[in-house]
Structure 1
Amino acid sequence: MDKNTPLSSFSKWISPIHFKKAFEQTENLKQDYYTKKLTTEAYIKMLLFAQLHETESLQAMSDALLDDDFQKTLGFDSISASQLSRKNNEVAPTILATLFLDLVCQIKAFHKKQPNASMPLKVIDSSTLPLNLTNYKWAKFRKTKAGAKLHLKLVFMDKHTVYPEKAVITPAKEHDRNQLEILVDDKEAMYVFDRGYVDYERFDRMTDEGYFFASRLKKNAVIREVHSFSLPPESAVLSDKMVYIGSTQNRAENVFRLVEVEDTKGNVLRLITNRFDLSADEISDIYRSRWAIELFFKWLKQHVEIKHFYGMSETALQNQIYIALITYCLHVLIQLETKSKRSLLRISRWLKAALWKPAYLWLRRFENQTVP
């Protein structure tokens, strides 16, 4: 781009990405050794453009290069779908994973600047992405089905801002509990996860090692009450107890806290935690924050392209998922930089409308904060 040309909205949006880091990894891995024009950097920019527009195929991505501004951004005027396919299967997912984690660090820097920042709330869950067994035999997990699973740790800053902090991509047959050891790594955080992660031995280990958590017990879980705590009259909690959990054959050695609450449908939820310093209502509110990760997965599936994959290899699939996570993080960084209360969907729509226009025209839309 000419130095006298105003920065485009697209260039502003991707500016937090440290392409220098990607270039260093690319050099070490010799990813662009025989590449003439579709470098790893150009590939990343094309994939980000495709995620933003929810482009469903490599051919559609190739056709998008009819746009003069897109050509100027990439430095070439055409690329075939077959070339894109080869690059998609060649780029090491570790490169995109590194860029994703770097963006996470930038988001954390904003978080740390917040006055009176409390212990971060980190929600853990997974989402299965269904795949065609004929094309994705490496991801088989049932007789007639294939799938990949995105295991995720999401940081809940407040109701306006959440962001993915760590991701693990596996075939769908991988059990959620196996990833808990990888995703729980911060003793200065409070972890929240659903009953699919219940493991008494791991609960003991987390407690002994100083990790805090809140989870939901299965309906058939055996409990033995040690003590019942009194509740304030205005509390929405049904009961608050100190308990041992598990049967004689399978039990936890530590004592835990059991908080019973009703969900919106009137069903009783049994919440288990190793936090005794919070009120029962605070424990209930913390667990309700788990829905943030459900909304995150819903956002990904509706507003970026992870329903149609551009390649059938494990490498291609991982690259596309990391690009989707990078897209989300770039939206969050703009939201934090502009101190906007706008939804990420609104931010994305404005960006697409002003993609090749000067960035200041896009950013000007954030100045009026009266409309959500």
Structure 2
Amino acid sequence: MIKISTPKQKITSSTFDIFIAPLLRLLPLVPLLSSRGDRPLKMNFEQQLRALVYFHLQEHDSARHLLQDMKENDFARQNIAPEGGISRSSFSEIINGRGLEQLQFMFENLYKQAANAIPMQFQKLGELISIDGSLISAVLSMYWADYRKGSKKAKAHCGFDINRGIPSKIFLTDGNGGERPFVSKILSKGQTGVMDRGYQSHHDFDLLQKEGKHFVCRIKTKTTRTVLKENAVEAGSHVFYDSVVLLGTPGQNQTTKPVRVVGYQIAGINYYVATDRHDLTADQIATVYKLRWTIESFFKWWKKHLKVYHLIARSKYGLMVQILGGLITYLLMAIYCREQFNEEVSIKRVRELRTIILNELFNSQDEIDKIENQIFKEQYKPSLAKT
């Protein structure tokens, strides 16, 4: 009986390597992930990062599904999983307790890479950041995720770069977490936060102006306005109101700094938008607020196509790890689509990417089979001849 022994060939995908290249460039700069105690890490940070990206890219629907793939799929076993594999309990311990600092570093720096690679779409309107929260369905065992009786939810507070179509900041609270406190944290000096009525806060409007941060925020129609100056409104325009005012009731909740309010009508609905942007026309202010909906489209697309909310973690720490993994995958998509096709992220390109990687893996396996057959023939040619 002939015993065959051939060198193990590695299954690779050049497209997957191109896809994750921006991450690999950042790895040497990442804060060190150290083991707790004397035991060596069962999964280093690069392996944890690869696993999170692979989970979202390949549409796994659970941690069990991912771990099974890393065990049975040659590519995942060789390129994603740590040597010798990893158990479900060890993987859960890692996701729920390690790597958050490193992932936040990766996300922040990958955003900078993407922002440099993607041109501004609405440059004349300035740096626009849409701000909103998105509820994440949790399981009842996630006690920290308070929402209401019999229902657990967490809330992601996200900043979305409108000009480049990419997420810029993320914070996580329980489902009842207030949204307004995160506005100042999400915005950088000179940026304009674009927000819905839930973010109306006269105190925050004053604070943002003091910090050198801007806002375009829809306000309630019946908000009290003390007019300081009326701006001319073009006849026949959908804009019917443009004034500099003090918002709120004097002596109670009135702004200390003047605010510009623009009123316009779309499809029979009156919108009133407060802003400190006096450099834009009223029409441009209306356009800026309309662009706020890009974050809604992002949340919908992100949840549907990258399976971001198929939970592989139960702790608040672990859920933030998973969310950052999903955001990093989206940023990689944005960089890949821009560099390869000069396009925005689309489901067409995502599906195409998955197909190309899959085809390369099949071709790689075919090449390995050919090499192994050739080695077998050369190595055992004399024995085969005798038989």
Give yes or no for TM over 0.5.
yes
CA distance in 2, matches of 1:214, 1:78: 50
Report the counterpart of residue 346 of structure 2 in structure 1: 344
Q: Which residue of 2 aligns with 1:20?
A: 28
Amino acid at match of 2:213: Y
RMSD: 2.8
Tell me the residue number matched to 1:124: 131
Q: Which residue of 1 aligns with 2:165?
A: 162
Structure 1, residues 186-238: CA drift from partner, whole Å, max 9, x if none?
A: 22x22211111111112112223332211011233111233332222453212
Structure 1 residues 33 and 102, CA gap change in structure 2 (3 angstroms): farther
Q: Where does residue 300 of structure 2 map in the other structure?
A: 298
The CA deviation at 1:357 is 5.1
Counterpart of 1:276, as a letter, is H
Aligned-partner SS, 1:127:
strand
Higher helix share: 2
CA distance in 1, matches of 2:305, 2:247: 41
Secondary structure at the counterpart of residue 169 of structure 1:
strand
> 1:119-158 counterparts in 2 under 5 A?
119-132=126-139, 134-157=140-163
C-alpha deviation, 1:255, in angstroms:
1.9
Distance in structure 1 (CA, Å) of the matches to 2:36 and 2:329: 22
- The alpha-carbon distance between structure 1 residues 351 and 37, as it changes in their structure 2 partners (threshold 3 A), is farther
Paired residue for 1:262?
A: 265
For the Cα contact (< 8 Å) 1:8–1:356, is it kept in 2? Answer: no
Aligned residues: 350
Provide closer, same or farther for how the CA distance between residues 180 and 76 of structure 1 changes in structure 2, counting only shifts above 3 A.
Answer: same
CA contact (8 A) 2:22 2:110 kept: yes
Residues 63 and 114 of structure 1: CA distance in aligned 2, closer, same or farther (over 3 Å): same
CA distance in 2, matches of 1:114, 1:259: 23
**Residue pair 2:183, 2:193 contacting (<8 A) in 1 also:** no
Q: Is the 8 A contact 1:8 1:357 kept in 2?
A: no
Q: Distance in 2 between matches of 1:325 and 1:231?
A: 42
Amino acid corresponding to residue 181 of structure 1 in structure 2: S
Distance in 1 between residues matched to 2:340 and 2:123, nearest whole Å = 20
The TM-score with structure 1 as length reference comes to 0.85
Matched, 1:9 2:11: no
Deviates more, 1:143-152 or 1:324-333: 143-152
Measured in 2, the distance between the counterparts of 1:298 and 1:32 equals 42
Cα distance in structure 1, aligned partners of 2:43 and 2:302: 27
Q: Tell me the SS of whatever aligns to 2:22.
A: coil
Letter of the structure 2 residue corresponding to residue 327 of structure 1: T
1:301 and 1:47 map into 2 onto residues whose CA distance is 15
Shift of 1:138: 1.1
> One-letter code of the match for 2:66?
M
Counterpart CA distance in 1 for 2:318 and 2:134 is: 18
Per-residue CA distance 1:27-69 (angstroms, 9 max, x = gap): 3xx3696346532321221221111122121111122132212
Q: 1:182 aligns with which of 185, 191, 204?
A: 185
1:26–1:32 CA contact under 8 A, matched in 2: no
Q: Work out the CA distance in 2 between the residues paired with 1:209 and 1:78.
A: 50
Contact 2:11 2:75 in 1 (8 A): no
Q: Name the residue aligned to 2:68.
A: 63
1:110 is aligned to 2:114: no
Partner of 2:57: 52
1:41 aligns with 2:43: no
Give the match for residue 354 of structure 1.
Answer: 356
The 2-side partners of 1:126 and 1:136 are apart by 19
Identity %: 25
Provide the rounded CA distance (Å) in 2 between the counterparts of 1:83 and 1:12.
29
Q: Which runs of 5+ in 1 are unaligned?
A: 362-372
- 78-87 or 309-318, larger mean C-alpha shift: 78-87
Residue 71 of structure 1 aligns to which amino acid in structure 2?
R
Structure-2 separation of matches of 1:239 and 1:289: 20
Offset, 1:335 = 2.0
Q: Any idea what SS the aligned residue of 2:239 has? A: coil
Distance (whole Å) between structure 1 residues aligned to residue 293 and residue 118 of structure 2: 21
* Structure 1 pair 301–4 and aligned structure 2 pair: CA distance change class (3 A): closer
Rate the CA distance shift 1:218–1:108 in 2: closer, same or farther, 3 A: same
Where in structure 2 are there 5+ consecutive unaligned residues?
A: 1-7, 364-387
How far is 1:84 from its partner? 1.8
1:337 to 1:118, Cα distance in 2 relative to 1, 3 A: farther
Three-state SS of the structure 2 residue aligned to 1:15 is helix
Give the alignment's TM-score, normalised by structure 2: 0.82
Q: Which residue of 2 aligns with 1:197?
A: 199
Report if the CA contact (8 A) 1:244-1:256 is conserved.
yes
**Alpha-carbon separation, structure 1, partners of 2:238 and 2:155:** 35
Q: Which of 1 and 2 has greater Rg?
A: 2
- What is the identity, as a one-letter code, of the residue corresponding to 1:88? I
1:31, 1:91 within 8 Å by CA — same for their partners in 2? no
Correspondence for 1:370 = none
